[in-house]
Amino acid sequence: MGRRSRKRYKKVVQVVRKPPTRFQCPTCGLMTLSISIDRSEDVAIISCSNQNCGLRATLRGIPKIYQEVDVYAKFLDKFTEGSIEVTYSRGSEHEVEG
């Protein structure tokens, strides 16, 4: 009566053609970083949807030709330099500085 379970190999093949709006978050490392560009303000909002991370940043002066991926590259540069203000809105933790 041995129940044999076949080994299943999950194949996750994603062939979805849509513009990449999800990027790897430099803080939590998940693909939960979303970028939205406000063309009228030349501003891009970068936010991480990982609740344990909650990274948020605003990048101003976005050139019209910039796509999300360009904004992401620029954001990473600034993030590495430490020249962009980044906030974290973690749900459970409250870090109060001052």
Residues in the site for Zn ion, rule: CB under 5 A? 25, 27-28, 48, 50, 53, 55
Taking the complex as a whole, the smallest distance from the CB of residue 56 to Zn ion amounts, in Å, to: 10
Taking the complex as a whole, the smallest distance from the CB of residue 98 to Zn ion amounts, in Å, to: 24
SS3 of 88, please?
A: strand
Taking the complex as a whole, the smallest distance from the CB of residue 51 to Zn ion amounts, in Å, to: 9
Query: DSSP secondary structure string, 18-78?
Result: S---EE--TTT-SS-EEEEEETTTTEEEEEE--TTT-EEEEEE---TT--HHHHHHHHHHH
**Closer CB to Zn ion, 27 or 34, in the complex:** 27
**Closer CB to Zn ion, 28 or 76, in the complex:** 28
**Closer CB to Zn ion, 25 or 57, in the complex:** 25
